[in-house]
Amino acid sequence: MRRRLFRVLRGLGIVLLLGLGYALWGSVTGLWLPCPFHALTGLECPGCGVTRMCLALLRLDFAAAWAANPGLLLLSPLILGLVGWQAMDYVRTGDRRPGRGQRLLGWTLVILVVGYGILRNCI
């Protein structure tokens, strides 16, 4: 169990370091990764604005985070909760497969994100 907890914490640390490194790189150089979906279609994907949203959240500027991507800002607690739930189950049991409730929540979130992506281009 301790080994699995270390794996989860190590993975979390890597994700945080990569995210903070990307934020620092982009802030210093002004070079950000463009959205390939937006570049090809001119439409905004559900994730367009996530970088701006995360940078605004790091500054505790909730109005700017909302302006960047309101859909994912609203869904992020549920997404983080699902990831945390799966991580806790993995640490506790060693089973990486999501349970029935986790699958249901995951698919619900996928449907909501895709729906938001469609809706944000219709308004």
pLDDT tens per residue, the chain (123 residues)?
899 999 999 999 999 999 999 999 998 998 998 999 999 999 988 888 899 999 999 999 999 999 999 999 999 999 999 999 999 999 999 999 999 999 999 999 999 999 999 999 887
Nearest 5°: phi and psi at 35? -80, 120
> What domain range includes position 48?
2-122
Total domains in the chain come to 1
pLDDT at 123: 77
Largest Cα separation within the chain, whole Å, is: 49
pLDDT, position 13: 97
10 Å CB burial of residue 122 (0-12, 13-18, 19+) is exposed
CA-to-CA distance for 54 and 65, rounded, in angstroms? 7
Half-sphere CA count of 74, side-chain side, radius 13 A: 9
pLDDT reported for residue 47: 87
